[in-house]
Structure 1
Amino acid sequence: MNRIDRASRTISAAPAAIYDALLNREALEAWLPPDGMRGRIEQWDPRPGGGFRMVLTYLDPSDSPGKTSDATDVVDVGFADLVRPARVVQTAVFRADDPAYAGTMTMTWHLAAAGDGTEVTVTATGVPPGIDQAVHEEGIASSLANLASYVEPGD
């Protein structure tokens, strides 16, 4: 089966502003971790062929044990393709001993102008089988909501 996890959201910001938030270290630390997690970037190289390592820490690990340790997920993310301001393609590899989380997942962020905002669609392919699809899609949607809060102008 060719599994594709997907989530999308219209965000009231220009594609360039969203693209910039996808390639800014401080921005990613602020909005990328889904609800229930916080993130820290340890390595940073924002160019095609570069990437970053993010340590995601569960605020309540009893609810969702980590893939790398009891309370963390460590993921090495590569920038496979950067097309300003339309697309960011990332490869993600979890650091985990459990083979159910092995493999390289590809996350593609499509940014399309939509009226005064941007339709952001995230598709994930090659998702390790240990990652529940519904939970993953909920996490992507949570990150998109955080992204919207981060880039949308305040009242």
Structure 2
Amino acid sequence: MSRTDRASRLIAAPPEIVYGALVDRESLEAWLPPDGMRGRIQRWDPRPGGGFRMILTYLDPVNSPGKTSDATDVVDVGFAELMPPERVVHRAVFESEDPSYSGTMTMTWHITDTAEGTEVTVTATDVPPGIDQAAHEAGIASSLANLASYLEAADRPTAG
């Protein structure tokens, strides 16, 4: 049976700016890794049919063993759809010898303009069974919080 995980967040930035952070290499490296991880993009091809390879490193691998190695998750992400400024669809495959992490997970980033800001909802479908649902939803929420902090800090006027 297919599993769906989701999380949403209101972000104080316009939809075009949010969309830009979803398709910019440096931005993704800054905000996508959830708390307790850092990320580095190895390969980058920002177009439909292109994608990226991200190495996520656990800051405390003892309490958070990785899917690829003791300290890492390596994920190949394809850009299945780029629809500015409304939606980005990723197809993610984890590099792992453990079959419970196999398969292609689809992550759809919906961007909705609201009177209060931009609502970003992430829906992950076909989540591999080895990924704990509560931990995954917390990870998505953490990435969204990082995205909000990243974009909202960028909008602050500088002193000077």
The answer, yes or no, to whether TM exceeds 0.5 is yes
Q: Which digits, 9 at most, give the CA deviation of each residue in 1:4-24, with x for residues without a partner?
A: 100000000011001000000
Which residue of structure 1 aligns with residue 130 of structure 2? 130
Aligned residues: 155
2-side partners of 1:17 and 1:44: how far apart? Answer: 20
**Structure 2 gaps, min length 5:** none
State the one-letter code of the partner of 2:74: V
Which residue of structure 2 aligns with residue 40 of structure 1? 40
Q: Which digits, 9 at most, give the CA deviation of each residue in 1:131-155, with x for residues without a partner?
A: 0000000000000000001111226
State the one-letter code of the partner of 2:80: A
State the one-letter code of the partner of 2:54: M
1:49 alignment partner, SS class: coil
Which residue of structure 2 aligns with residue 15 of structure 1? 15
Which residue of structure 1 aligns with residue 65 of structure 2? 65
Which residue of structure 2 aligns with residue 111 of structure 1? 111
Normalising by structure 2, we get a TM-score of 0.95
2:64 alignment partner, SS class: coil
Q: Which moved more, 1:81-90 or 1:114-123?
A: 114-123
2-side partners of 1:69 and 1:119: how far apart? Answer: 34
2:82 alignment partner, SS class: strand
Which residue of structure 1 aligns with residue 84 of structure 2? 84
Map of 1:133-152 to 2, 5 A cutoff? Answer: 133-152=133-152
State the one-letter code of the partner of 1:66: G
Residues 8 and 122 in structure 1, CA contact (< 8 A), matched pair in contact too: yes
Q: Please provide the CA RMSD for this pair.
A: 0.8
1:91 Cα deviation (Å)?
0.3
1:83 Cα deviation (Å)?
0.3
2:136 alignment partner, SS class: helix
Q: Which digits, 9 at most, give the CA deviation of each residue in 1:46-101, with x for residues without a partner?
A: 00000000000000001110000000000000000010000000000000000000
**Structure 1 gaps, min length 5:** none
Residues 14 and 116 in structure 1, CA contact (< 8 A), matched pair in contact too: no
Q: Which runs of at least 4 in structure 1 moved beyond 3 Å after TM superposition?
A: none
1-side partners of 2:127 and 2:116: how far apart? Answer: 33
Percent identity of paired positions between Structure 1 and Structure 2: 74
Residues 101 and 129 in structure 1, CA contact (< 8 A), matched pair in contact too: yes
2-side partners of 1:68 and 1:23: how far apart? Answer: 25
Which residue of structure 2 aligns with residue 154 of structure 1? 156
Residues 2 and 127 in structure 2, CA contact (< 8 A), matched pair in contact too: no
Normalising by structure 1, we get a TM-score of 0.98
